[in-house]
């Protein structure tokens, strides 16, 4: 179903976690804290700040507790953490994360290669996490990866995506973020996917998490907006991607999303110049260029 464009969109900034986790360079704790603070100062209201997983698997996130301890908390900003299991949840609660997230996949092969278990095993592992989170009154977000294609299987059936999404919601997730991990999605497939998923889950419980690998992310986001989704994940400077997915570098850049939405008169609360500055700072530290075209071309008279 086609909606008019919304008046407001909520942006979930995933750069400090999903982004940095997938960069080769490991930053100092201080640099990570600076990044999160800059993003909050730029007006971002939901910031994925860290991950409580084994440092053996994800050395980039080994200091997440210190990052949570070091940031300046802005009132009204939600600082979240990825927590694959109960141990992670406890660490996140100790770190005073405002919200946590669990990570599933719509593709069996990707689930096995990425988190070493089948889709249903992963959902079973999340059950105690969701129960305990409910107990302590902390909200849980769900991620579903490979919603528009899988690096190992290719085609992914929207029915599988709808089914995993519905299961995460029924287990207690308040929101599920649909991830086009490999960036292969195009507008028609995106529309079909969202129609299928919204057949079983209300659209206001969904977020769009698109990669710009093939330059299609903004296009797919516009289709998502037209289908009523108003929560968008993005990563400052386009940080990160996924090392397990061939060619899957490239979260859509927050700068590009904010520029597009601003141009459409859609409110995000984010200051474009401030987020461009944050992206340039972190990119310098990582010795890379922001992937954002807006950032690269930015001249102040352009908007």
* Catalytic site includes residue 150: no
Nearer to a second copy, 160 or 216 (CB): 216
Query: Contacts from 118-122 at CB under 8 Å and sequence distance 24+?
Result: 119/164
What would the x/- binding string for a second copy be over residues 155 to 184, using CB under 8 A? Answer: ---------------------------xxx
Least separation in angstroms between residue 142's CB and a second copy is: 26
Return the closest-CA partner of residue 248 out of 110, 82, 100.
Answer: 110
Which of 146, 150, 173, 242 is the catalytic position?
A: 242
Least separation in angstroms between residue 17's CB and a second copy is: 23
Least separation in angstroms between residue 250's CB and a second copy is: 8
What would the x/- binding string for a second copy be over residues 105 to 144, using CB under 8 A? Answer: ----------------------------------------
Among 6, 43, 172, 187, interactor with a second copy by CB under 8 A: 187
- Hey, which residues between 257 and 296 contact a second copy (CB under 8 A)? 259-260, 262-265, 292-294
Least separation in angstroms between residue 74's CB and a second copy is: 28
Nearer to a second copy, 70 or 187 (CB): 187
Nearer to a second copy, 136 or 302 (CB): 302
Among 66, 247, 274, 288, interactor with a second copy by CB under 8 A: 247
How many other C-beta atoms are found inside a 10 Å radius of the C-beta of residue 223?
Answer: 24
Return the closest-CA partner of residue 60 out of 38, 41, 39, 82.
Answer: 82
Among 81, 176, 218, 236, interactor with a second copy by CB under 8 A: 218
Nearer to a second copy, 50 or 179 (CB): 179
Among 163, 219, 281, 289, interactor with a second copy by CB under 8 A: 219
243 binds a second copy (CB under 8 A): no
Among 223, 224, 239, 258, interactor with a second copy by CB under 8 A: 223
Least separation in angstroms between residue 140's CB and a second copy is: 32
Return the closest-CA partner of residue 212 out of 232, 238, 187.
Answer: 238
Residue by residue, DSSP assigns the chain as: ---PPPSB-EEEE-IIIIIHHT-SSPPPHHHHHHHHHHHHHTT-SEEEEEE-S-TTT-GGGTTHHHHHHHS-PPTTPEEEEE-SSHHHHHHHHHTT-SEEEEEEES-HHHHHHHHSS-HHHHHHHHHHHHHHHHHHT-EEEEEEE-SS-BTTTB---HHHHHHHHHHHHHHT-SEEEEEETT----HHHHHHHHHHHTTTS-GGGEEEEEB-TTS-HHHHHHHHHHTT--EEEEBGGG----TTSTT---BPBHHHHHHHHHHTT-B----HHHHHHHHHHHHHHTTS----HHHHH--GGG-
Would you name the residues annotated as active-site residues?
242
Point out which residues bind a second copy (CB under 8 A).
2, 5, 154, 182-189, 212-216, 218-219, 221-223, 246-247, 249, 253, 256, 259-260, 262-265, 292-294, 297, 299, 301-303
């Amino acid at each position: 179903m086609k909606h008019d464009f919304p008046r407001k969109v909520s942006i979930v900034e995933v750069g400090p976690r999903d982004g940095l986790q997938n960069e080769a360079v490991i930053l100092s704790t201080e640099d990570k804290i600076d990044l999160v603070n800059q993003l909050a100062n730029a007006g971002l209201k939901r910031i994925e700040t860290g991950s409580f997983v084994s440092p053996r698997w994800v050395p980039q996130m080994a200091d997440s507790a210190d990052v949570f301890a070091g940031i300046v908390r802005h009132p009204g900003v939600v600082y979240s953490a990825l927590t694959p299991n109960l141990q992670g949840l406890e660490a996140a609660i100790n770190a005073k994360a405002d919200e946590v997230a669990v990570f599933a996949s719509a593709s069996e092969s990707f689930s096995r290669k990425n988190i070493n278990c089948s889709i249903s095993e992963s959902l079973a592992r999340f059950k105690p996490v969701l129960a305990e989170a409910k107990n302590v009154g902390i909200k849980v977000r769900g991620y579903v990866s490979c919603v528009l294609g899988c690096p190992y299987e290719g085609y992914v059936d929207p029915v599988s995506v709808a089914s995993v999404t519905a299961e995460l919601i029924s287990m207690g997730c308040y929101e599920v973020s649909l991830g086009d991990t490999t960036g292969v999605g195009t507008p028609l497939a995106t529309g079909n996917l969202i129609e299928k998923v919204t057949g079983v889950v209300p659209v206001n419980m969904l977020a769009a998490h698109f990669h710009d690998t093939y330059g299609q992310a903004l296009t797919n986001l516009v289709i998502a907006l037209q289908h009523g989704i108003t929560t968008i994940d993005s990563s400052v400077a386009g940080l990160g991607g996924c090392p397990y997915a061939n060619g899957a570098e490239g979260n859509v850049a927050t700068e590009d999303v904010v520029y597009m939405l601003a141009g459409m008169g859609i409110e995000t609360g984010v200051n474009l110049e401030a987020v461009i500055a944050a992206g340039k700072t972190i990119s310098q530290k990582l010795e890379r260029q922001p992937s954002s075209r807006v950032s690269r071309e930015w001249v102040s008279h352009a908007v």
